[in-house]
């Protein structure tokens, strides 16, 4: 399987609205993904969109451009954008708090759902397109994350607003499944 990892997150835009005792956030992030292809065949992916869900509600959209992974390639850079529009953070945190209290330390679930059209390329010959569906569950354990153990590693506000936060493997987990659709 090709391997994708997050390399960098840039905040392109954000707007905070504190009206009616709720924190509502709109933001745009650019993500730099690193793609590795350990296969002896090339893979081409069409432009696609993935949905970000929190507690079953769509809170964001990930836009991924068309890109190609040559055979046996490492460090192919893929620039993506994540859009969050008018996300009621206060409501999500309130639901998470109630869920956490009622389940004695349960995790918060974020899901990423979508599909992408892909083609296998062998010696510059493209085989028929297939669709690959992705369903990723990301869990953040509230019992293992606290404000006191979060440190900002780097921050550069001009011209790009870059930040990174440590996510230790005990606090964040992910489980992804793929399905090939014909």
Q: pLDDT 10s digit of each residue in the chain, 182 long?
A: 778 888 888 889 888 888 778 888 899 999 888 889 998 889 889 999 999 998 888 999 999 999 999 999 998 899 999 999 988 888 877 776 666 555 555 455 788 999 999 888 888 788 888 898 888 887 766 555 443 333 334 333 334 444 444 444 454 566 778 788 76
Provide the CA 23 distance to its chain's centre, in angstroms: 22
Torsion, Cα of 15, 50, 47, 163 (10° steps): 40
The whole-number pLDDT of residue 81 equals 93
The whole-number pLDDT of residue 102 equals 59
What b/e readout covers 37-68, taking b as 16+ CB neighbours within 10 angstroms? beeeebbbbeebebebebeeeebbebebeebe
The whole-number pLDDT of residue 165 equals 40
Compute the distance between CA of residue 20 and CA of residue 26 in angstroms, rounded to an integer.
16
The whole-number pLDDT of residue 92 equals 78
The whole-number pLDDT of residue 151 equals 38
Q: How many CA atoms lie within 13 A of 21 on its CB side?
A: 1
Mapped onto helix, strand or coil, the DSSP state of residue 117 is: strand
Using only C-alpha atoms, the chain has a radius of gyration, in whole angstroms, of 18
Rounded (to 5) percent helix, strand, coil in the chain = 15, 65, 25
Q: How many CB atoms lie within 10 A of CB 29?
A: 19
Which residues on adjacent β-strands are paired with residue 25?
16, 87
The whole-number pLDDT of residue 175 equals 75
The whole-number pLDDT of residue 142 equals 54
Compute the distance between CA of residue 66 and CA of residue 48 in angstroms, rounded to an integer.
8
Provide the CA 150 distance to its chain's centre, in angstroms: 20
């Amino acid at each position: 399987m090709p391997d994708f990892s997050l390399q960098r997150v840039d905040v392109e835009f954000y707007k905070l609205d504190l009206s009616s005792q709720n924190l509502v956030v709109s933001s745009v992030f650019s993500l730099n993904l690193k793609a590795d292809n350990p296969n002896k065949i090339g893979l081409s992916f069409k432009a696609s969109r993935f949905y970000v869900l929190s507690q079953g509600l769509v809170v964001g959209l990930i836009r991924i451009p068309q890109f190609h992974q040559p055979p046996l390639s490492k460090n192919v850079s893929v620039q993506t954008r994540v859009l969050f529009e008018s996300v009621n953070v206060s409501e999500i945190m309130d639901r998470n708090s109630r869920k956490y209290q009622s389940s004695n330390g349960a995790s918060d679930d974020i899901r990423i759902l979508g599909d992408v059209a892909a083609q296998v390329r062998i010696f510059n010959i493209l085989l028929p397109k297939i669709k690959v569906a992705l369903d990723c569950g990301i869990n953040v354990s509230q019992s293992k994350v606290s404000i006191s153990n979060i440190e900002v590693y780097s921050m550069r506000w001009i011209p790009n607003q870059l930040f990174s936060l440590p996510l230790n493997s005990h606090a964040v987990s992910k489980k992804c499944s793929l399905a090939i659709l014909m």
